[in-house]
């Protein structure tokens, strides 16, 4: 019986093999098109619509930046494609805004046009930022699961006292700043208690009680979680 490589193994090979990279992109063009069309809500054709070109470039980017800790490749690729489509429309709307302002300059209806346009831009931006937040939270939940941490349990078990939360956040930052301690955490998937106690004076039991929260904060700091990072008060 022939052994068939998993998609994730093929992705790893494609990082070094241009032929495998091109093969994957060609093979998954229907997946790319489906992902882009669901995001845009309209039928698109290769060779005619820029969105599909953006999708293919995003798929290539996903291959180049993927590692198995990010979960299933197609889920990761779907997120990257969605984010790049959002970036594309943001830029498109920004360019439209510049053109519109140039065209209507010195026009008596400037005030009304600008107000309506700015309002439309605000609505668009808020809607897309909410979508990115949802994608970030979904990816964050998956990464926490890889560490054996349930997102909802984490919320329930988070320290009630602000002083304790701030202490655990500070420990998370210290871990990220110390390459050796961070590498130990990532390789063993366990808090390196003794190493942490060398850089932060804290009792072992207190450190163990905050294990899930500290790891969750480390994941936020080292991951691509812009909105979650902004949400967490790091003072």
Could you read off the pLDDT of 73-87 as tens digits, one per residue? 888 888 889 888 888
pLDDT at 193: 93
Tokens representing 98 are 């510049």
Q: How many CA atoms lie within 13 A of 49 on its CB side?
A: 16
- Whether 207 shows a pLDDT value over 80: the answer reads yes
Residues 6+ apart with CB under 8 A from 68: 8
Q: Are residues 97 and 125 in the same domain?
A: yes
Range of the domain at 169: 151-231
Name the pLDDT band for 228 (thresholds 50, 70, 90): confident
- Whether 185 shows a pLDDT value over 90: the answer reads yes
Q: Are 158 and 213 in contact (CB under 8 A)?
A: yes
Q: Are residues 83 and 197 in the same domain?
A: no
- Residues of the chain above pLDDT 90, percent: 39
Q: Which of 128, 146, 164 is the last residue in one of the domains? A: 146
Q: Are 118 and 160 in contact (CB under 8 A)?
A: no
Q: Are residues 205 and 93 in the same domain?
A: no
pLDDT at 105: 47
pLDDT at 233: 66
Q: Are residues 132 and 157 in the same domain?
A: no
What's the chain's average pLDDT? 81
pLDDT at 66: 87
Q: Are residues 64 and 132 in the same domain?
A: yes
Q: Is residue 2 part of a domain?
A: no
Q: Are residues 126 and 166 in the same domain?
A: no
Q: Which of 86, 112, 146 is the last residue in one of the domains? A: 146
pLDDT at 57: 95
Q: Which of 146, 169, 189 is the last residue in one of the domains? A: 146
- If one counts the domains in the chain, the total is 2
Name the pLDDT band for 126 (thresholds 50, 70, 90): low
Q: Are residues 22 and 134 in the same domain?
A: yes
Q: Is residue 1 part of a domain?
A: no
């Amino acid at each position: 019986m022939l052994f068939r490589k998993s998609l994730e193994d093929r992705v790893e090979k494609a990082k070094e093999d241009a032929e495998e990279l091109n093969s994957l992109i060609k093979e998954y063009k229907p997946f790319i098109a489906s992902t882009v069309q669901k995001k845009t809500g309209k039928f698109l054709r290769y060779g005619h619509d820029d969105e599909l070109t953006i999708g293919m470039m995003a798929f290539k980017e996903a291959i180049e930046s993927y590692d198995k800790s990010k979960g299933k490749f197609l889920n990761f690729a779907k997120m990257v494609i969605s984010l790049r489509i959002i970036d594309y429309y943001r830029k498109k709307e920004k360019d439209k805004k510049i053109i519109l302002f140039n065209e209507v300059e010195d026009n008596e209806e400037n005030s009304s046009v600008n107000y309506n346009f700015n309002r439309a831009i605000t609505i668009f931006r808020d809607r897309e930022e909410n979508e990115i937040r949802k994608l970030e939270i979904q990816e964050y939940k998956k990464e926490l699961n890889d560490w054996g941490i349930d997102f909802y349990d984490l919320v329930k078990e988070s320290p009630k006292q602000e002083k304790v939360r701030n202490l655990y956040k500070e420990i998370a930052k210290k871990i990220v700043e110390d390459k050796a301690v961070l590498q130990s955490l990532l390789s063993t998937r366990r808090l390196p208690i003794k190493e942490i106690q060398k850089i932060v004076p804290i009792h072992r039991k207190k450190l163990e009680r905050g294990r899930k929260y500290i790891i969750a904060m480390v994941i936020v700091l080292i991951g691509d979680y812009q909105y979650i990072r902004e949400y967490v008060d790091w003072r």
